[in-house]
Amino acid sequence: MRVFHGILLSVVGCQAPSLPDYQPADMRFSVPALADTVAAGSATGAVSVDGFQIVANVDGALVVLDPRSSTPRTLRAVGPQVWGATSLADGSTLIATDEGLLLDDVYLQPSPVQASLPSPALQVARRGGAIWIRTAEGLSVWRGGALTSLDWDGAPLTAPFALGAAESGIDVVWTANARGLVAIGETTEGWAPVATLKGVSVSSVAVDGAGVMVASTPDGLIVRREGAWSAWSLSAGDARVLANPSRRGLWVASSDGLWWTDSTYFKGMVSLPEGAMLPDAALSVDAVGRLLVAGEGALVRVADRPTVAVVGLRNLASIDGETTVAAQSTPADGVTSVTMTVDAAPLEVTDGATTLDPFEFLDDATHRLEAVTTWQDGVQAVGVLDFTVGSVGAATWVDNVEPLFQARCAKCHAGSTQTRLDSAEAWETNVDLILDDVTQRRMPLGGPALTGAEISVIRAWQEGGFP
Ligand code: HEC
């Protein structure tokens, strides 16, 4: 047990776990990688944002690939290199490029946040009201208009980071520096290490939707699962690990090949797309867990099993007009049928797409759209999208959200027993958690659930930038 800066938390300081005798190569079974083409051309940086959009540099141009449109939206014909991207609460996109942070909001412009950074951002990710930014100088967090640089015992955190699951009840960000691997979280004393592993040299780190953290070292992979450490040796120690924090499963790309793992077993991917030079070609993981890979002359999506994504609408978004959503199946070849339902009622589907009309779903609730793709061999996959209906008018804290809080949450969340949610700031910081809890009907505790219209109010306030 180690205590940092006198903080009385359950701070974990461990030695590197010893590597077990087995290797993934002993455990793996191989499956064909299922792939489909996202864009023709040579892609150098491609990041999946917002569940269904991809920001990429294709043939030298900075583009947004949006499955709702058959042609890419060109942000700049001769574009910068893309290192990372994240969607902001108002629906705009923050893009980390070699020219600095750019904001795609109606038109492309430099982001004002870049002025606070020492050099162009290499990685960006948003969680709630905070944006995590890594530059060559280290990791910082931008919140409420201020940038805080983070370190570990005075040493900057320069390794790639991954938004992680909770450690000791605190949401953390996993990263590393020359001292080792560390999870940084916001404690009552400010940002501090919540879990550490000293003496390891980490080149990449990823956390999946099941809360499994995998870090790549020259000797192999270090895994943290449910608070316990383990390790896997790899014959090629140059692996890159990638995951989507909302999806179970991690990708391990090394010069030996590509694996999908849930950390208990490894599936080796055979017959990769032509020209995929791992690990550099592995770019990012989308919201249904597919890996974007730069192949020979094309950007491809690789899935470890037949997969369908419902695209065109952000999960949990509210619709206030006719909205087209489509089923995006991997592999795209061999699909014999696509069916869709909303709340189990069938929808008319044309070419794998359907149009949602908000007037058909007038009851206040969260609706669930399910898409089922069937392939030639009878294999099926299901994709899910939750949405609500409501006019996304302007909502403010004083007029809309605070009255909702007073009516439905204050009896438990205004005092010191439960998480305090009695200020606009507390709601802004926790907005993703709140939306998740109310749409999943975990809150208000004991019910009744919020109506679709009430949830739309929270979302409209978020989309309006928390006025
Ligand atoms: C009857 C009491 C009660 C009501 C009403 C209630 N909550 Fe909670 N809430 C709790 C308890 C108990 C917890 C668990 C302790 C904690 O994390 O604070 C909790 C936890 C939470 C959390 C943190 C969950 C997490 O994963 O960390 C959020 C966010 C939340 N509530 C939001 C709301 C919102 C928004 C409302 C109103 C729409 C609401 N709650 C109404 C009792 C209540």
Distance of alpha carbon 130 from alpha carbon 428, whole angstroms:
9
Helix 431-439 and helix 452-463, axial crossing angle in degrees, nearest 10: 160
Residue 13 has pLDDT above 50, yes or no: no
* Residue 391, pLDDT score: 54
Residue 421 has pLDDT above 90, yes or no: yes
* Residue 60, pLDDT score: 92
Q: Are 160 and 175 in contact (CB under 8 A)?
A: yes
Q: Provide mean pLDDT across the span 408-433.
A: 89
Pocket test for ligand 1, best of 397, 435, 443 (most atoms within 8 A of CB): 443
What residues contact 378, with CB distance under 8 A and at least 6 apart? none
* Residue 3, pLDDT score: 21
pLDDT band at 151 (very low <50, low <70, confident <90, very high): very high
What residues contact 247, with CB distance under 8 A and at least 6 apart? 208, 209, 285, 287, 288, 289
Distance of alpha carbon 302 from alpha carbon 294, whole angstroms:
10
> For residue 460, which phi and psi values (nearest 5 degrees)?
-65, -40
Nearest CA to ligand 1 atom 32: 434
* Residue 297, pLDDT score: 83
**Residue 183: closest CA among 207, 203, 201, 217:** 207
Between 362 and 339, name the one with better pLDDT: 339
**Reduced to 3 states, what is the DSSP secondary structure of residue 307?**
strand
- Tokens representing 391 are 């006019």
Residue identified by tokens 């993703």 is 432
> What secondary structure, in 3-state letters, does 248-271 show?
CCEEEEECCEEEEECCCCEEEEEC
Distance 451 CA to ligand 1 centre (A): 16
Q: What is the DSSP string of 228-254?
A: EEEEEE-SS---EEE--TTSS-EEEEE
* Residue 11, pLDDT score: 33
Q: Using one digit for the tens of pLDDT, what is the confidence trace for 262-274?
A: 877 788 887 777 6
Q: Is 304 exposed, middle or buried (0-12, 13-18, 19+ CB in 10 A)?
A: buried
Distance of alpha carbon 180 from alpha carbon 197, whole angstroms:
6
Distance of alpha carbon 123 from alpha carbon 259, whole angstroms:
24
Q: Establish whether the linkage from the previous residue to 72 is cis, with ω within 30° of 0.
A: no
Distance 438 CA to ligand 1 centre (A): 9
Residue 201 has pLDDT above 80, yes or no: yes
Please give the model's pTM, rounded to 2 decimal places.
Answer: 0.74
What residues contact 180, with CB distance under 8 A and at least 6 apart? 16, 196, 197, 198, 199, 200, 202
Pocket test for ligand 1, best of 168, 445, 450 (most atoms within 8 A of CB): 445
Residue 409 has pLDDT above 80, yes or no: yes
Considering the chain, what is the average pLDDT of its residues? 85
Domains, the chain, in order of start with CATH, read 12-305 (2.130.10.10), 308-389 (2.60.40.10), 397-463 (no CATH)
* Least confident interval from 184-193, 195-204, 448-457: 448-457
Cα torsion at 166, 200, 159, 8 (round to 10°)? Answer: 40
| Torsional class of 332: left (φ above 0), alpha (ψ -120 to 50), beta (otherwise) | alpha
Q: Which residues line ligand 1 (CB under 6 A)?
A: 408-409, 411-413, 418-419, 421, 430, 433-434, 437-438, 443-446, 450
* Residue 71, pLDDT score: 87
Q: Using one digit for the tens of pLDDT, what is the confidence trace for 334-360?
A: 999 999 999 889 999 999 999 988 777
Distance 416 CA to ligand 1 centre (A): 12
* Least confident interval from 73-77, 177-181, 413-417, 458-462: 413-417
Nearest CA to ligand 1 atom 29: 434
Extended beta strands in 153-227, E state: 155-156, 162-167, 170-177, 180-187, 190-198, 204-207, 213-217, 220-225
Q: Using one digit for the tens of pLDDT, what is the confidence trace for 289-331?
A: 999 988 778 888 999 999 999 998 887 787 877 889 999 999 9
* Residue 14, pLDDT score: 42
**Residue 105: closest CA among 89, 124, 92, 91:** 92
Distance of alpha carbon 255 from alpha carbon 240, whole angstroms:
10
Q: Are 97 and 71 in contact (CB under 8 A)?
A: no
Distance 450 CA to ligand 1 centre (A): 13
Percent residues over pLDDT 70 in the chain: 90
**Measured from the CA of 404, which atom of ligand 1 is nearest?**
38
Between 32 and 221, name the one with better pLDDT: 221
Q: Provide mean pLDDT across the span 458-462.
A: 86
Distance 430 CA to ligand 1 centre (A): 11
pLDDT band at 51 (very low <50, low <70, confident <90, very high): confident
**Measured from the CA of 450, which atom of ligand 1 is nearest?**
38
Q: Is 415 exposed, middle or buried (0-12, 13-18, 19+ CB in 10 A)?
A: exposed
Residue identified by tokens 């290499």 is 122
Q: Which CA distances in Å does 365 have to 6, 183, 388, 412, 449?
A: 47, 37, 6, 23, 9
Distance 51 CA to ligand 1 centre (A): 27
Distance 409 CA to ligand 1 centre (A): 7
Q: Provide mean pLDDT across the span 377-394.
A: 82
| Torsional class of 126: left (φ above 0), alpha (ψ -120 to 50), beta (otherwise) | beta
Distance 288 CA to ligand 1 centre (A): 28
* 157 alpha-carbon distance from chain centroid: 21
Q: Provide mean pLDDT across the span 151-168.
A: 90
Helices marked H in 28-108: none
Q: Provide mean pLDDT across the span 367-387.
A: 93
Residue 74 has pLDDT above 80, yes or no: yes
Q: Are 85 and 63 in contact (CB under 8 A)?
A: no
> For residue 187, which phi and psi values (nearest 5 degrees)?
-105, 175
* Residue 105, pLDDT score: 85
Distance 423 CA to ligand 1 centre (A): 14
Percent residues over pLDDT 90 in the chain: 45
Residue 7 has pLDDT above 50, yes or no: no
pLDDT band at 451 (very low <50, low <70, confident <90, very high): confident
> If residue 453 lies in a helix (H) or strand (E), which one and from where to where?
helix 452-463
Residue 16 has pLDDT above 60, yes or no: no
Residue 364 has pLDDT above 60, yes or no: no
Nearest CA to ligand 1 atom 1: 445
Nearest CA to ligand 1 atom 11: 418
* Residue 120, pLDDT score: 95
CB atoms inside a 10 Å sphere around CB 16: 16
* Residue 22, pLDDT score: 46
Residue 1 has pLDDT above 70, yes or no: no
Residue 376 has pLDDT above 60, yes or no: yes
